[in-house]
Amino acid sequence: MSVPPKDLDRQRIDKWLWHARMVRTRTDAAALTTAGFVRLNGKRMTAAAHPVRVGDVVTLALDRSVRVLQVEGFCGRRGGAPVARALYRDLTTSSGHGACARTAEPSKIPRPDRP
């Protein structure tokens, strides 16, 4: 078994998507890539072995959403959610905090009572 170098400068796109927990399995990551649902710096990727580097922008078309991520790092093994979140910066919203970030307060318009 080979040990990955401590300072990785690139990683396969399918492996990075799996390590970043964008998909459940590496096979799913490879399938998304070969099907054309992954873009790297604006260019459609069809090879799961294509390398990503720090600073690259990955656009991923998932089930009902599109995620735009900037690669911040790599890891040798798949870790938990906190480790996965350290691998990317979510550019999906203008604030850079991710799609789940709250951008505005809920509407405070009074609703008429229903009969």
CATH of the domain at 68: 3.10.290.10
pLDDT value of position 8: 77
The pTM assigned to this predicted structure is: 0.74
3-state per-residue secondary structure call for the chain: CCCCCCCCCEEEHHHHHHHCCCCCCHHHHHHHHHCCCEEECCEECCCCCCEEECCCEEEEECCCCEEEEEECCCCCCCCCHHHHHCCEEECCCCCCCCCCCCCCCCCCCCCCCCC
pLDDT value of position 3: 44
Q: Tell me, yes or no, whether 26 lies in a domain.
A: yes
Domains in the chain, number = 1
Q: Tell me, yes or no, whether 109 lies in a domain.
A: no
Q: Tell me, yes or no, whether 110 lies in a domain.
A: no
pLDDT value of position 7: 61
pLDDT value of position 93: 72
pLDDT value of position 67: 95
Q: Tell me, yes or no, whether 113 lies in a domain.
A: no
Residue with tokens 């991520």: 69
**What residues pair up with 67 in beta bridges, in sequence order?**
60
Blockwise average pLDDT, block size 10, the chain, 115 residues: 60 96 95 96 95 96 92 93 95 58 45 58
Q: Tell me, yes or no, whether 48 lies in a domain.
A: yes
pLDDT tens by residue, 38-70: 999 999 999 999 999 999 999 999 888 999 999
Q: Tell me, yes or no, whether 30 lies in a domain.
A: yes
| 69 close to 91: Cβ distance less than 8 angstroms | yes
Range of the domain at 56: 10-90
Q: Tell me, yes or no, whether 77 lies in a domain.
A: yes
How much is the CA Rg of the chain, to the nearest whole Å?
17
Q: Tell me, yes or no, whether 37 lies in a domain.
A: yes
